[in-house]
Amino acid sequence: MNGSTSHDRRLSAKRVLLIVSGGIAAYKALELIRLLSKAGCGVTCVLTKAGAEFVTPLSLQALSGQKVYTDLFSLTDESEMGHIELSRAADLVVVAPASADILAKMTAGLASDLATTLLLATDKRVLVAPAMNLRMWQHAATQANLASLQARGVLIVQPDEGPMACGEFGPGRLAEPPVILAAIAQALGAGGPLAGSHAIVTSGPTHEPIDPVRYLGNRSSGKQGHAIALALATLGAKVTLVTGPVAIPDPLSVAAVHVETAAEMLAAVEAALPADIAVCAAAVADWRAEAQAPHKIKKTGKGPPALQLTENPDILRRLSAPGPLRPKLVVGFAAETQDLESNAAAKLAGKGCDWIVANNVGGTGIMGGADNQVTLITASGAEHWPLMDKQELARKLAVRIAEQFK
């Protein structure tokens, strides 16, 4: 596999901040620097104390042609370039190899040395390539740390499976440098398959106020919509994420607009047009209270108050309506609890969108859960996708969208 030529365009004139943490695989960072430099990408290295047990600052410096940073409290380093500046000057922060220790520190938000301080202070996307003993990799703590980092938008290059330095066999070996290089090129997105396109993604529930303390809402967590926004951005799209109130963070590298109600969501979506792609993953409340009470509704002793409801605007239908601003591809979701395919097909026709991602939300913990099982309905029929985690589903959908745009 030629590690550089196919990625040259995406990598040239970009800057990567490469953090090398401890582990026998640290030597592979040298090959990664060589590949990045060959592709025209500038590399600035930060070496952790543990990393310096395996490779020397001198070898990193010789290959990157740049000063190597190791110390949080070095006066010379601070006078040359503040540590915050170091992460801001990069287009992407890469941790390779990423030890179990640095992943745990990232998860906890520690800032105990230069590397972890940079990782906490950066406003750039972070990509990690883990490498560790297989038992450390399989440990529930490491897996939970990875899941939480991934939920925050950190990109993870899956380690390989194979014989390990410790004599065991299994997953945990650092991915090969050309594979990490490809992931870096993809994360930098400049030349990704969706480069130059704009995608609008709606996500989460909407909250429709009844009075200042009560609202109508639903159980949507926003996990699926947020993952789709991130997956489209990873393929190079410029993404506007319009999200209702959720407890999860905005994915990095998307422009997030926070709204409460369906009317606000529609206004934000319309303000974000024009777009090439729209994915409506939000669970928009179908109804709102006709009038919001200005004060908390009190018990009167004469039974519960009657709630007068009125219909909310249908954002998916508006986006799908023919006209100069209609995105080329409009994808809706169909949350169903019965007759999935026929209901979803009717929704596709009724709303005028191009694809429907239909999921059965009845009783299986899909809403709010980590996994999703969907049927994709397009003009050419229904495709049943197996149960997979929401991030994987998002990546699969983003790849399908990119294929459509080829």
Residues that are catalytic:
166
The yes or no reply on residue 333 touching ligand CTP (CB under 6 A) is yes
Q: Which residue is nearest to ligand CTP (CB)?
A: 315
Site string for ligand CTP, 342-361 (x = CB under 6 A): -----x--------------
Given a contact cutoff of 8 angstroms between Cβ atoms, the answer to whether 348 and 355 are in contact is: yes
Q: What is the Cα–Cα distance from 46 to 115, expressed in whole angstroms?
A: 7
Quick one: which of 101, 276, 314, 371 contacts ligand CTP (CB under 6 A)? 314
Least distance between ligand CTP and beta carbon 273 (Å): 14
Quick one: which of 194, 316, 394, 397 contacts ligand CTP (CB under 6 A)? 316
Quick one: which of 31, 176, 286, 341 contacts ligand CTP (CB under 6 A)? 286
Using CB under 6 A as the binding rule, the residues of this chain from 219 to 278 that contact ligand CTP are 262
Report whether the peptide linkage leading into residue 304 is cis, meaning its omega lies within 30 degrees of zero: no
Least distance between ligand CTP and beta carbon 279 (Å): 8
Q: What is the Cα–Cα distance from 79 to 90, expressed in whole angstroms?
A: 18
Least distance between ligand CTP and beta carbon 264 (Å): 12
**At a CB cut-off of 8 Å and minimum separation 6, what does 392 contact?**
none
The yes or no reply on residue 341 touching ligand CTP (CB under 6 A) is no
Given a contact cutoff of 8 angstroms between Cβ atoms, the answer to whether 367 and 220 are in contact is: yes
Residue (of 49, 50, 42) closest to 72 by Cα position: 49
Distances (CA, A) of 265 to 30, 130, 293, 296, 350: 48, 38, 21, 25, 21
> For the CA atoms of 223, 226, 227, 231, what is the dihedral angle to 10 degrees?
180
Site string for ligand CTP, 383-402 (x = CB under 6 A): --------------------
Site string for ligand CTP, 149-188 (x = CB under 6 A): ----------------------------------------
Q: Produce one character per residue of 81-108: b if its CB has 16 or more CB atoms within 10 Å, e if not.
A: eebeebbeebbbbbbbbbbbbbbebbbe
**In terms of CB distance, is 122 or 375 closer to ligand CTP?**
375
Residue (of 5, 6, 62, 66) closest to 30 by Cα position: 62
Quick one: which of 96, 126, 242, 280 contacts ligand CTP (CB under 6 A)? 280
Q: What is the Cα–Cα distance from 41 to 399, expressed in whole angstroms?
A: 26
What one-letter code names the amino acid at 400?
R
Q: Which stretch binds ligand CTP (CB under 6 A): 90-98, 301-309, 326-334, 364-372?
A: 326-334
**In terms of CB distance, is 101 or 286 closer to ligand CTP?**
286
Site residue total, ligand CTP (CB under 6 A): 15
The yes or no reply on residue 315 touching ligand CTP (CB under 6 A) is yes
> For the CA atoms of 92, 231, 204, 223, what is the dihedral angle to 10 degrees?
-90
Number of H helices, E strands in the chain: 15, 22
Least distance between ligand CTP and beta carbon 296 (Å): 27
Given a contact cutoff of 8 angstroms between Cβ atoms, the answer to whether 240 and 202 are in contact is: no
**In terms of CB distance, is 286 or 371 closer to ligand CTP?**
286
Q: Where does this chain bind ligand CTP (CB under 6 A)? A: 202, 262, 280, 282, 284, 286, 312, 314-316, 332-335, 347
